[in-house]
């Protein structure tokens, strides 16, 4: 297997005591640090109707992050295509690719990234449902490459501006349906292990086995998104991850607030039922020292047969969040971390 690459997935978390503006500033600083440490790419997520994440428009954040960095690939993780016009998404990303040539990734997803009412507000009366998602992908791919879309009514429509080449295209998901789309259209596939920690290796295998070579990729290319908290010791990492335990619990009860402090999380009195939920949620995260994390990440790369992991790290303190990425970069010997050492 090739040298393992590490990328970043940033959901622009809003921490208790902080603001959305703080979260976005922290996103930019983390992206600049990730570039210096040698991370492969930096993806921005899309979420709506929540006080816990500030990133509702990845297209805008991509422009901000790409302008603040120089070489790292920047993209969406991902644009929730079911809400939007394929033409508009294509124009957004052709414009981004024109501004930042050779650096833009377009990752698309099927999930709403919101509750159903918010999803309806985003669509605003558009009658085209999720059952037409494959057509959306086909039209989007055609608009990105300046080709004729499959929807006959739009045959004369073209997306502008015209960059030197299209962005990389990825399908993101946590199900076999997303893998089917990625394989059928010959695009990269990113499996969200941090959402669905069981059975993902079989989904990735199905993607590889069903892959149809395309102008996007001649062979299957996959990565996995993994939630990681890395600290100097296993004990400290588990302590920092307590914030996620409480935040995830609240999320399951419909509470979309900011990320709690470690102190608040440790002081929370869990009921037996809540404790069981927390233990179940811990299946989709890794917390530990650099050596502990490395063992688990390498096991995942072998199970999924991928050579890239997109790391999602959230802890309450942004300095400790950055430290987690720094520790990982050094442990895996990323080029930037070796140069900075």
Please choose, from the candidates 203, 183, 205, 185, the residue with its C-alpha nearest in 3D space to the C-alpha of residue 193: 203
Instruction: Give the Cα separation of 238 and 44 in Å (integer).
Output: 25
- Helices 272-281 and 234-252: crossing angle, nearest 10°? 110
Burial of 313 (0-12, 13-18, 19+ CB in 10 A): buried
Q: In the chain, how many domains are there?
A: 1
Q: Are strands 222-230 and 308-312 parallel, antiparallel or unpaired?
A: parallel
pLDDT at 335: 76
pLDDT at 103: 98
pLDDT at 336: 77
pLDDT at 166: 95
User: DSSP labels for 95-157?
Assistant: HHHHHSTT-EEEEEESS-SS-HHHHHHHHTT----GGGHHHHHHHHHHHHHT---SSGGGTT-
Count how many Cα atoms sit within 13 Å of the Cα of residue 17 in the half-sphere of its side chain. 8
Per-residue pLDDT of the chain (341 residues; tens, 9 = 90+): 568 999 999 999 999 999 999 999 999 999 999 999 999 999 999 999 999 999 999 999 999 999 999 999 999 999 999 889 999 999 999 999 999 999 999 999 987 655 677 777 777 656 555 568 999 999 999 999 999 999 999 999 999 999 999 999 999 999 999 999 999 999 999 999 999 999 999 999 999 999 999 999 999 999 999 999 999 999 999 999 999 999 999 999 999 999 999 999 999 999 999 999 999 999 999 999 999 999 999 999 999 999 999 999 999 999 999 999 999 999 999 977 655 55
Instruction: Determine the structural domain holding residue 253 and report its residue range.
Output: 5-340
pLDDT at 118: 73
Burial of 291 (0-12, 13-18, 19+ CB in 10 A): exposed
Count how many Cα atoms sit within 13 Å of the Cα of residue 71 in the half-sphere of its side chain. 9
User: DSSP labels for 209-252?
Assistant: HH----SS-SS--EEEEEEEEE-SSHHHHHHHHHHHHHHHHHHH
Using DSSP, state whether 183 is helix, strand or coil: helix
Which residues share a beta bridge with 75?
43, 105
Q: Count other Cβ atoms within 10 Å, centred on residue 30.
A: 21
Instruction: Give the Cα separation of 10 and 188 in Å (integer).
Output: 19
pLDDT at 129: 57
Burial of 214 (0-12, 13-18, 19+ CB in 10 A): middle
Please report, for the domain that includes residue 18, its CATH number.
3.20.20.30
Instruction: Give the Cα separation of 200 and 222 in Å (integer).
Output: 12
Instruction: Give the Cα separation of 216 and 144 in Å (integer).
Output: 11
Give backbone dihedrals phi and psi of 287, rounded to 5 degrees, phi first: -135, 130
Give backbone dihedrals phi and psi of 5, rounded to 5 degrees, phi first: -105, 145
Q: Count other Cβ atoms within 10 Å, centred on residue 118.
A: 16
């Amino acid at each position: 297997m090739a040298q393992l690459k590490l990328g970043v997935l940033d959901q622009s978390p809003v921490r208790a005591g902080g603001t959305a503006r703080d979260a976005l500033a922290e996103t930019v600083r983390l992206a600049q640090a990730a570039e210096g440490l040698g991370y492969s790419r930096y993806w921005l997520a899309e979420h709506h109707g929540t006080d816990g994440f500030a990133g509702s428009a990845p297209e805008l954040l991509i422009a901000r992050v790409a302008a603040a960095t120089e070489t790292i690939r920047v993209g969406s993780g991902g644009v929730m295509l079911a809400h939007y016009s394929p033409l508009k998404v294509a124009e957004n990303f052709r414009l981004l690719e024109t501004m930042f040539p050779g650096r833009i990734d377009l990752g698309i997803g099927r999930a709403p990234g919101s509750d159903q009412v918010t999803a309806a507000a985003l669509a605003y009366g558009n009658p085209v449902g999720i059952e037409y998602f494959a057509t959306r992908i086909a039209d989007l791919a055609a608009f990105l490459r300046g080709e004729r879309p499959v929807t006959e009514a739009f045959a004369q429509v073209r997306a502008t501006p015209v960059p030197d080449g299209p962005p990389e295209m990825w399908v993101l998901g946590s199900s076999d349906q997303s893998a089917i789309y990625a394989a059928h259209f010959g695009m990269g596939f990113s499996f969200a292990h941090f959402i669905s920690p069981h059975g993902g290796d079989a989904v990735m295998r199905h993607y590889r086995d069903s892959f149809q070579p395309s102008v996007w990729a001649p062979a299957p290319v996959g990565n996995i998104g993994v939630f990681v908290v890395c600290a100097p010791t296993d004990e400290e990492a588990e302590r920092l991850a307590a914030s996620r335990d409480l935040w995830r619990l609240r999320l399951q009860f419909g509470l979309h607030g900011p990320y709690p402090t470690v102190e608040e999380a440790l002081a929370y009195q869990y009921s037996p039922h809540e404790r069981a939920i927390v233990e179940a949620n811990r299946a989709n995260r890794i917390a530990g020292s650099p050596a502990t994390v490395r063992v688990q990440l390498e096991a995942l790369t072998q199970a999924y047969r991928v050579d890239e992991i997109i790391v999602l790290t959230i802890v309450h303190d942004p300095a400790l969040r950055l430290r987690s990425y720094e520790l990982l970069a050094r442990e895996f010997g990323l080029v930037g971390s070796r140069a900075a050492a």
